[in-house]
Chain A
Amino acid sequence: MQTLSRFMFLAALTVMSVAQAAPRDDILAAYAAQAKAGDAAFAGVSAVRGEALHRDRHAGGKADSPSCTSCHGENTRAAGRTPVGKTIDPVAVSVAPTRYTDAAKVEKWFRRNCREVLGRECSAREKGDWLAFMITQ
C-alpha cells in the first residue's frame, strides 16, 4: 500500500514537472526562433554565453547594479536581494521549478532588469542564452 501510494505520488510529480517544463521550453524556443529570424547565422542558444551575461559586470546601466548577480547573487541556487533589501527567490531552475513558465512575467523582468544592468533591452539571443543557462543550473 505504502509503495503504491509513493508510486502514485511520484507519478503525479512527474506529470506536474512535465507540465511545467513545457511552457518554459516554449518560451525558450520562441526566443531562439526570434534570434534566428534576426540573424541567419544564429546557431542556437548557449548556456555558456548565458552564464557570461549573468556574471559579467557591464557598463551602461545603473551604478548599483552592474551585473545580474548584483541582485540575483553569485550563487544561482541561493536567494538574492534587491538594492532596497527585499529577498529574491533563487533563479536556478533546479531549485525554482516554477520559474520561467509565464511568458509575460519573463518578458517584463527581462525588460526591466536588462535596462537596469545594461542600460538597454536584451536581444532575443541574450534572453535565450540566459534562460538556457538557468535551465542547466
Chain B
Amino acid sequence: MKPLIRSIAVGAALFAVGAVMLERAKAGSDEFFPPVTDPLTRQECGSCHMAFPAGLLPARSWQKMMGELDNHFGDDASVDAATARQITTYLVAHAADSAGHGDMRRWLRRVPASAAPQRITELPKWVREHREVSPREWTRKEIASKVNCVACHVDAERGYFEDD
C-alpha cells in the first residue's frame, strides 16, 4: 500500500511541476496572455469589447487610459473614482512590463520608454504579427474591427492568441 501512495504522491508532484512549467512556457510566448481575472475589470472593461489581457500593454499605457475614460476612443467609458482606482491597480500589476507575470517585455519591442501607446493594434509587434492578414479580412462583416480579437482568435477570452 505504501509504495502505491508514494508513487501517487510523486506523480502528483511531477504533474504540478509540469503544470507550472507549462504555465511559464505559455506566459513567455506571444501566444498566451493571462486573461483578466479581476471580476470588476472583466465587467467594466468587457462589455463593449473583450476584456483585453493586461499583459498586452505596459503599465504607463493603462495609467494614461484610466485617466481619460470619459473620452475613450470617442466613447464614454467612465466609471466612479473607486472603481477606476481598483481597475488601474489590477491592470498595472499585470501589465506587460510588470514583474512576476512571465516576461512579456518582448511584446513591447520597439515601443519607446517615453511613449504610452493606447492601442494594442498599433504596437510594432502586433502589426508585425498581423502583416500577413489581408486587408480584405479586416473589413469582413463578422470581424467589424481589428479590436474584435475573438473573431479570429476563438480562445482569446481564455488568453490564447495562437494561429487558428
Contact = CB atoms under 8 A, between A and B. Distances in A.
Interface of A: 62, 81-86, 88, 108, 111-112, 115-116
Contacts of B150: 85-86
Contacts of B76: 111-112, 115-116
A116 B75 contact: yes
Nearest to A82: B48
B135 interface: no
B17 interface: no
B74 A62 contact: yes
A83 B146 CA distance: 11
Interface string B67-79: 0000000111101
B74 A84 contact: no
Interface of B: 46-50, 74-77, 79, 142-145, 147-148, 150-151
A85 B151 contact: yes
Contacts of B145: 83-85
25 contacts: A62-B74, A82-B47, A83-B145, A84-B48, A84-B49, A84-B144, A84-B145, A85-B49, A85-B142, A85-B143, A85-B145, A85-B148, A85-B150, A85-B151, A86-B46, A86-B48, A86-B150, A88-B47, A108-B79, A111-B76, A112-B75, A112-B77, A115-B76, A116-B75, A116-B76
A86 B74 contact: no
A85 B147 CA distance: 8
A113 B75 CA distance: 9
- Most chain A CB atoms below 10 A, which of B47, B75, B79, B142: B75
A91 to B, nearest CB: 13
Contacts of B148: 84-86
